[in-house]
Amino acid sequence: MAGLKLQAVTKSYDGKTPVIKQIDLDVADGEFIVMVGPSGCGKSTL
């Protein structure tokens, strides 16, 4: 298996308004994570 590391991830669809801004995430090998939040907060985009 492998881990996952994201550093300073930013995403916008119109090139102006970020839907994700400066996200850092480090998931170690074997870890299980769950993304929880309201509709439209960027879970699927991430």
Give per-residue pLDDT as tens, 1-46.
Answer: 789 999 999 999 998 888 899 999 999 999 999 999 999 888 888 8
Query: What single-letter amino acid sits at 34?
Result: V
Predicted confidence at residue 42, as pLDDT, reads: 84
**16: containing domain:** 1-32
Angstrom distance (rounded) from CA 10 to CA 40:
16
Residue 23 domain flag: yes
Query: What single-letter amino acid sits at 7?
Result: Q
Residue 17 domain flag: yes
Residue 14 domain flag: yes
DSSP helix/strand/coil, 35: coil
Asked if residue 4 lies in contact with residue 27, where contact means CB atoms within 8 angstroms, the answer is yes
Minimal CA–CA distance to 41: which of 16, 25, 22, 18? 18
Residue 11 domain flag: yes
Residue 37 domain flag: no
Residue 41 domain flag: no
Residue 6 domain flag: yes
Domain count for the chain:
1
Tokens read off for 8: 């300073």
